[in-house]
Structure 1
């Protein structure tokens, strides 16, 4: 070998060794993502937390932000399953809603600077992974601005799957752990669509990297036609609109043949909003948070009655807390210094949403036939995606009943009702609004425990 050839080979070997040195290991990646302390965090914390970014598209520079909260050390996190939580919108943050005001271990005080412990946090039962999806939501970002205007169901599901595949490489100890997906509202699309991709990808693998067991959704957008019929019926039967407006809505609003409301339908919806008055449609028996109600009532988006996720005062505390520079630094967030403030819901993503299938029922049927565990729950004071809409959608599946409608109990009081079908369990939670764990945290905790244990609701 000549000197020049030897020199080339030597350079190649050196470049390979440099690449090997630069390639970080899962242990190093986890160490980099580990949260040591959150500003305002209570002292008595006995669980590990990790957060950071996972790239889902190298070419576009799309990266999704995650926050993993493990079970307390005393409860044995290694023996517990992993649950991915998704919020909907579309365009709303799972950190803002799921983590900060529903199922996470920390809730934010009114000062927007300090945290307090949630006694009914779901990480007491499982390791919980929160994901801000798609890019443009929360801390998740894309280097191509056009991405924010072109998201829809399919692209979101594909990116979420890419996130999981790459995340499991970073956290290989979770690779073969029992894995579930849960979510609410427009995650009624996200969850089954992601579940379908995982199931179909797993079918072609001898040893799937994702040990997917099933999913659970709450107050979930499921089927446009049945959601429409059930929502208008709920408004009418709960005295929120007049007889004439109810008839007008039935006549002018038709989402069977069109994904977008007609001019006449929008006019009927505006009348319905005026008749309902200054209530919180996401929780009709609780007071709205001053001017927050006007934000929720705005009639934009594909679902004119579902423009945003639940908007209580806690949303304001989230926007204060997660915009603090010290909080972002502790979470390893906003590393690219995005040009806009962190918000609970994106001003762009949801308003420019693309593809959105009319129904999730075909996916339900496929995954029921696959033998996956599927639970659907509903808070019965939500007029946005109400229990009537959910019941109509489930009824359209024509599933055989295993256990007929029955009350379930918590400390001797009725916590709601349940019906077990072949392949699906329906649970209602009495007195709960759109975000069940926010309004009924203890009952939601019981529900989640029953789901994980695959046991009927307590009687």
Structure 2
């Protein structure tokens, strides 16, 4: 039993699920809301690498980290089987767990997790944390149930089918719903949903990890990687910086952080905005006139925007039409199409998957199997976001200097957080190129393109939208396998001359 700074309170108090604020938004809506509320302001702080990121990365916690007793909780969190789970073949079986970890015993904040071990050699494989963005969206609903988890939900909303390209083929994967108020995570204090942001999200995620590792002590010294997508462009670097800072204290649990990998990351608002509009024009989604008007009237270097700039940006929004900007070539959800449950293939992502997952996770028997408290589960929650730095680039620069592995990757059909934006941000880091741009190989096809800089690798995933593992699960697994092994994604054999 460990205690840090003060006696942990309320160990055995019953969990209460109150003040949850579900809404009908999804990951697209939440990020768009954050982007647009700031994009269409006419004045913005100066844009440079010296911009104060936030004290999230190096601050001392307002209260000591409490490592609570975890005896018996691992066994209590084990899932026998999920409702509607398909029968697994010999060698495919794996352990899965779900439950809560308290991160604030006074306020009653508890974060929900879902953990799947690898079917083969789990004791030697690394531990990977997955974080979805939003901000305010579920890593379990998106990451586990639609992207890289072991199962996906059939169109009946009651049964599951196997994801052959799940990431637990190569790692033990931990999905965290953060902050409190997202998914099944909750607080007993209503103000926790109104006053949350980057700083407390990093703080609570760190507290979660320290306590989770006490519950699963066999993973304390395991190689640890942080992965995620979208607004995890904030979450992952900030959590990584927090871990590295806390690891410097010999009195704290040391987390064996080896690297981070972020997909279609939202890391810099001005680069993100410029990159989006340039992507739209280069993919024939807005007009020459609109593109020229944006470049003439919008000052993306400073973040300041004239009224004329905003008129052209609004015009671009109108010109796109009714398509999914997170995958510009994907069909829209059509519930009248009558997809048959037995014909749901993992390599053909169903655009109505959100509806199936939400129905499944609101089944009473599913909540019981997950050891989750009764609530109206939604993908994203209307939590109030009070701090979000304009840029994370200074923190990324410090992570590069720390020597940990750092990858960014982009599905190339995502228009809202495109690879164009990421490349603009990487360019401003002024990193020397170590391995030039080249295609990478996935089952004999071009899986995407990759370039290696000093301290950072950037890769694209061909044919993938914002949720890369949803649209290209095989290629995503190839990419993450290379990342975990610390080597570039596979090259094509040299052509005979």
Q: Same fold (TM over 0.5)?
A: yes
How many Å separate the matches in 2 of 1:431 and 1:329? 37
Partner residue of 2:361 out of 322, 330, 335: 322
Structure ID, larger Rg: 1
Question: What is the match of residue 418 of structure 2?
Answer: 386
Query: Of the candidates 115, 125, 130, which is equivalent to residue 68 of structure 1?
Result: 115
Highest relative contact order (Cα 8 Å, sep 6+), 1 or 2?
Answer: 2
Change (3 A) 1:51 1:262: farther
1:61–1:143 contact (8 Å) kept in structure 2: yes
Is the contact between residue 94 and residue 116 of structure 2 (CA under 8 Å) also seen in structure 1?
yes
Larger mean Cα displacement after TM superposition, 192-201 or 266-275? 266-275
Q: 1:358 corresponds to which residue?
A: 390
Aligned residue for 1:212? 257
- Per-residue CA deviations over 1:256-311 (Å, capped at 9, x if unaligned) read 6569x8876654443222211111111111212149xxxxxxxxxxxxxxxxxx99
For residue 35 of structure 1, what is the aligned residue in structure 2? Answer: 79
Residues 204 and 251 (structure 1), Cα distance of their counterparts in 2 relative to 1, 3 Å cut: farther
SS at match of 1:320: helix
Contact 2:331 2:351 in 1 (8 A): no
Matches within 5 A, 1:110-129: 110-129=155-174
Task: From 117, 130, 148, give the equivalent of 1:85.
Answer: 130
Q: TM-score, length-normalised on structure 1?
A: 0.85
* 2: CA distance, partners of 1:366 / 1:253: 30
Counterpart pick for 1:233 among 257, 261, 278:
278
**1:434, 1:246 → 2: CA distance?**
23
Residue 249 (structure 1) aligns with: 294
Structure 2: which 5+ residue stretches go unaligned?
1-10, 13-66, 336-348, 492-497
Q: CA deviation at 1:318?
A: 0.9
Describe the shift of the 1:255–1:200 C-alpha distance in structure 2 as closer, same or farther (beyond 3 A): farther
TM-aligned CA deviation for residue 155 of structure 1: 1.0
Distance 1:142 1:229, change over 3 A: same
CA distance, structure 1, for counterparts of residue 260 and residue 218 of structure 2:
21
Distance in 1 separating the partners of 2:142 and 2:165: 15
Mapping 1:143-292, distance limit 5 Å: 143-205=188-250, 208-250=253-295, 253=298, 267-290=311-334
Name the CA distance, whole Å, in 2 between partners of 1:206 and 1:145: 33
2:246, 2:254 within 8 Å by CA — same for their partners in 1? no
Aligned CA distance change for structure 1 residues 263 and 319 (closer, same or farther; 3 Å) = farther
Deviation at 1:27? 5.1
Q: 1:10-53, CA deviations, whole angstroms, 9 ceiling, x for partnerless residues? A: xxxxxxxxx99xx9964511111111111000121500011100
- Quote the Cα distance in structure 1 between the aligned partners of 2:207 and 2:68: 19
Answer whether contact 1:33 1:51 (CA < 8 A) is retained: yes
Give the 5 Å matches for 1:9-48: 26=70, 28-44=72-88, 46-48=93-95
Report the alpha carbon displacement of residue 360 of structure 1 after superposing the two structures with TM. Answer: 1.1
Secondary structure of 2:114's match?
Answer: strand
Farther off after superposition, 207-216 or 45-54: 207-216
Partner of 2:441: 409
8 A contact 1:404–1:420 mirrored in 2: yes
User: Are positions 1:332 and 2:371 aligned together?
Assistant: yes
1:298 alignment partner in structure 2: none
Q: Which residue, 338, 342, 349 being the options, matches 2:377?
A: 342
Paired position in structure 2 for 1:12: none
Task: Decide whether aligned partners of structure 1 residues 252 and 413 sit closer, same or farther in structure 2, where only a CA change above 3 A counts.
Answer: same
Return closer, same or farther for 1:353/1:264 CA change in 2, 3 Å cut-off: farther
Shift of 1:457: 1.2
**Separation in structure 2 between the aligned mates of residue 405 and residue 216 of structure 1, nearest angstrom:** 18
Q: Is the 8 A contact 1:26 1:172 kept in 2?
A: no
Aligned partner of 1:9 in structure 2 is: none
Deviations 1:39-75 (A, max 9, x none): 0001215000111000111111111000011101xx1
What CA distance in whole angstroms lies between the structure 2 residues aligned with 1:42 and 1:106?
9
Answer whether contact 2:407 2:483 (CA < 8 A) is retained: yes
Shift of 1:172: 1.0
Aligned residues: 411
Is the CA contact 2:210–2:253 (under 8 Å) kept in the aligned structure 1? no
1:405 counterpart SS class: strand
Cα distance in 2 between the residues matched to 1:113 and 1:390: 38
1:211-242 Cα offsets, whole Å, 9 max, x none, are 11110000000111211111110011111111
Shift in Å at residue 244 of structure 1?
2.2
| Cα distance in 2 for residues equivalent to 1:433 and 1:38 | 28
More moved, 203-212 vs 187-196? 203-212
In the alignment, what sits opposite 2:59? none
SS in 2 for 1:396: helix
Contact 1:224–1:255 (Cα < 8 Å) also in 2: no
The match for 1:422 is 454
CA distance 1:276–1:24, change in 2 (3 Å): closer
Unmatched segments (≥5 aa) in structure 1? 1-18, 292-309
CA-atom RMSD in angstroms: 2.2
